[in-house]
Amino acid sequence: MEQFRNIGVIGRMGSVQVVETLRQLKAYLLDENYQVILEQDTATMLPGHGLQVASKKLIGEICDLVIVVGGDGSLLGAARDLAKAKIPILGVNRGRLGFLTDIAPSELEERVGRVLQGEYIEESRFLLDAHATRDEHPLGFGTALNDVVLHPGKSTRMIGFDLYIDGHFVYTQRSDGLIVSTPTGSTAYSLSAGGPIMHPKLDAIVLVPMFPHTLSSRPIVVDGKSEIKLIIDRTHEAYPQISCDGQMDISCGPGDVIRITKKPFKIRLIHPKDHNFYATCREKLGWASNIAAS
């Protein structure tokens, strides 16, 4: 197990609860003689903190561990920024579901303390890169840990597009769009659209149509190394968008091409040693916790 000494801290902006947890975390880490480095935006929430401040890029270079205080969206943002640095990330939940940020604030000192003492498990999660081109010229680029989504934007019209997987034509579809999800994202937007839950260890990508104009269109699970290519119908009159983790939108037009592939860098996600994917699903998705004795 790695020895963590330099701890980077990133918090979600605009939340009183996050500030409270940041103060608690800061006090604990300093009491335990760890070197704490605050992300520069996070530092603005703790006036008079007296700590070193750094950009996310620099945090990735000088820290042994990053602790994210917020919801899953906060961890998604940190993961996109820090993937290349290959630094482990630990999440403290101040959001809603908390599939990725799985330490409760009420257990912060105990659970974080155990992780820092080496009592943790580590997962490797892959990300997706999305490249959009128009007449072979770059149009936009984005990275996603959860999903890349083709959607109508502000338009209410269906999108016509062709789907290719590894160069093989799959189908022409008219729908509200397509969700291209990693296993990490399979419990997020993909799940809401009827996609399958995938274990995080799977090297697979799921494609989930959004309200397709056919009853036979179903989610498809493909190898994680596959190249997904979408070509917007040239006769399409609306201008759909590509979003990455719901944060970055790339405006597309008729004939534009979107290529989605696995990113060469993976994130290192840290959990307390008792973390269990199925237990998380039971808790977060409301699965039955036991079977009544007959």
Q: How far is CA 243 from the centre of its chain?
A: 12
Instruction: Please check whether residue 293 lies inside any domain of the structure.
Output: no
Task: Tell me if 288 is assigned to some domain.
Answer: no
The catalytic position among 31, 41, 64, 72 is 72
Domain of 231 in residue numbering reads as 127-264
DSSP 114-126: HHHTT-EEEEEEE
User: Is residue 1 in some structural domain?
Assistant: no
pLDDT digits (tens, 9 = 90+) for 30-42: 999 999 999 999 9
| 161 in the same domain as 61 | no
Measured in degrees and rounded to the nearest 5, phi and psi for residue 209 equal -65, 145
Q: What are the C-alpha distances in Å from 225 to residues 100, 134, 181, 251?
A: 23, 24, 13, 26
Residue whose token pair is 């604990």: 28
| 180 inside domain | yes
Same domain, 89 and 142: no
In this predicted model, what pLDDT tens digit does every residue of 76-134 receive, in sequence order? 999 999 989 999 999 999 987 788 998 999 999 999 999 999 999 999 999 999 999 99
- Here the tokens at position 220 are 């498809």
What gap in Å lies between CA 274 and CA 266, rounded to an integer?
A: 23
Q: Are 105 and 163 members of one domain?
A: no
Whether residue 66 is found in the same domain as residue 161? no
> Catalytic site residue 72?
yes
Which residues belong to the annotated binding site for NAD(+)? Answer: 72-73, 146-147, 157, 174, 176, 187-192, 247
135 in a domain, yes or no?
Answer: yes
Question: Is 217 part of any domain?
Answer: yes
Q: Does 133 lie in the same domain as 112?
A: no
Name the pLDDT band for 215 (thresholds 50, 70, 90).
confident
CATH number of residue 237's parent domain: 2.60.200.30
What's the confidence (pLDDT) of residue 291? 61
Tally of CB atoms within 10 A around 166: 12
Question: Which of 118, 149, 178 delimits the end of a domain?
Answer: 118
Greatest mean pLDDT among 226-230, 234-238, 265-269: 226-230
In a domain, 285, yes or no: no
Q: Per residue in 229-255, pLDDT tens?
A: 999 999 877 789 999 999 878 999 999
**199 forms bridges with which residues in the sheet?**
none
Q: Which of these, 29, 23, 27, 1, lies nearest to 11 by C-alpha position?
A: 23
Query: Same domain for 109 and 132?
Result: no
What contacts 28, CB < 8 A, 6 or more positions away?
A: 108, 109, 112, 113
Residue 89 belongs to domain with CATH number: 3.40.50.10330
Tally of domains within the chain: 2
Using DSSP bridges, classify how beta strands 241-244 and 147-151 pair: parallel, antiparallel or unpaired.
antiparallel
Alpha carbons within 13 A on the beta-carbon side of 176? 8
Measured over the CA atoms of residue 120, residue 289, residue 69 and residue 144, the dihedral's sign is positive
HSE of 125, CA atoms in CB hemisphere, 13 A: 31
pLDDT digits (tens, 9 = 90+) for 130-179: 999 999 999 999 999 999 999 998 877 899 999 999 999 999 999 999 99
Q: Tell me if 182 sits within 8 A of 126, measured CB to CB.
A: yes
